[in-house]
Amino acid sequence: MRTLLLLLAATLAAQDLRVLSYNVRYPATGDGANLWSLRKDLFIDSIKDANPDLIGTQELFELQGNYIVEKLPQYAWFGLSRRGNHEDEHMGVFYRKDKLKLIESGNFWLSPTPEVVMSSAWGMSLPRMVTWGLFELTATKKRLYFVNTHFPHRREDEAARLECAKVLQAFLAKLPKTIPTILTGDFNTGTASQTYQLLTQSLTDAAPANSFGTFHGFTGKPGADRIDWILHTGKLSFKSATILTMNDAGRYPSDHFPVVAAFSVR
């Protein structure tokens, strides 16, 4: 009986968490049949299908974030744009209000001066940044850090991506080791890169069982590399991960396949 009670207590102390990393594709005016206005409801359906508790987005504009929570009011979202306001791409973080409580949040830029809004370096064409939150699970009161980013995108930015990873790694190293961390992002580089090797020195890749290239440019044909990752500390129990290919007769909600991972938080 005592063993049974201990097992029951351990089960109750753990809570499942579904995490989604999703490059939304900003509302570009030249996207033709893939304009945000034409795919926004398909995008909402893709989130419903994934049923995540936490979402790290990239290329999110404020109007997109507001539309998502309008249609899916069980979520709240936060984040600044890379300009430090709401007039550009956000690293928007979404969370289920019934399952998670936001304790603290912040933003920093991927540069030698991370606290300086819009700061940039290493020849990047655009400022790059990170949005993070400290969350508490309402059922168990366990806490976790959630960190979301988007690295520079050009072929010639490989050295810059490595520098961005160093800034990010320095931030992660300062977080309390007793609290688990989940990192989501579009890293714009593959798993053979130095950027990946550096980040996975301290984080574990929630590698999808169906691993393939996550950028497809609205074609549904996987690119060469898996560039959208969910990484985590060893304090979490990883259960599964997959790349989602939901579409409507060849119409896709974004130009990236999102990645979803399931964890048990103890």
Q: Alpha-carbon distance 124 to 176, whole Å?
A: 31
Give the domain CATH number at 143.
Answer: 3.60.10.10
Which tens digit of pLDDT belongs to each residue from 119-161?
A: 999 999 999 999 999 999 999 999 999 999 999 999 999 999 9
- How many Cα atoms sit within 13 Å of 38 on the Cβ side? 12
Task: Give me the domain span that covers residue 171.
Answer: 14-265
Residue 5 is assigned to a structural domain of this protein: no
Q: Per the structure block, which two tokens stand in for 172?
A: 């992660």
Length of the chain: 266
Q: Per the structure block, which two tokens stand in for 181?
A: 């961390």
Which tens digit of pLDDT belongs to each residue from 12-54?
A: 567 999 999 999 999 999 999 999 999 999 999 999 999 999 9
Please enumerate in sequence order all residues whose Cβ is within 8 A of that of 235, keeping only pairs 6 or more positions apart, or say none: 178, 179, 180, 181
- On the question of pLDDT at 9 being above 50, the answer is no
Residue 3 is assigned to a structural domain of this protein: no
Q: Per the structure block, which two tokens stand in for 214?
A: 């996550």
What pLDDT, on a 0 to 100 scale, did the predictor assign at position 8?
45
| pTM, entire model | 0.94
Residue 74 is assigned to a structural domain of this protein: yes
- On the question of pLDDT at 6 being above 80, the answer is no
Residue 129 is assigned to a structural domain of this protein: yes
Contact between 79 and 92 under an 8 Å Cβ cutoff? The reply is yes
Residue 9 is assigned to a structural domain of this protein: no
Using alpha carbons only, how large is the chain's radius of gyration in Å?
18
Residue 59 is assigned to a structural domain of this protein: yes
- The number of folded domains in the chain is 1
State the pLDDT confidence band at 4, using cuts at 50, 70 and 90.
very low
Q: Per the structure block, which two tokens stand in for 231?
A: 């990484």
Q: Where are the beta strands (DSSP E) in the chain?
A: 15-23, 54-58, 75-78, 93-96, 100-109, 129-137, 143-150, 181-186, 204-205, 228-232, 237-243, 259-265
Residue 196 is assigned to a structural domain of this protein: yes
Q: Alpha-carbon distance 99 to 6, whole Å?
A: 24
φ and ψ of 260, to 5 deg: -120, 140
Which tens digit of pLDDT belongs to each residue from 115-130?
A: 999 999 999 999 999 9
Residue 105 is assigned to a structural domain of this protein: yes
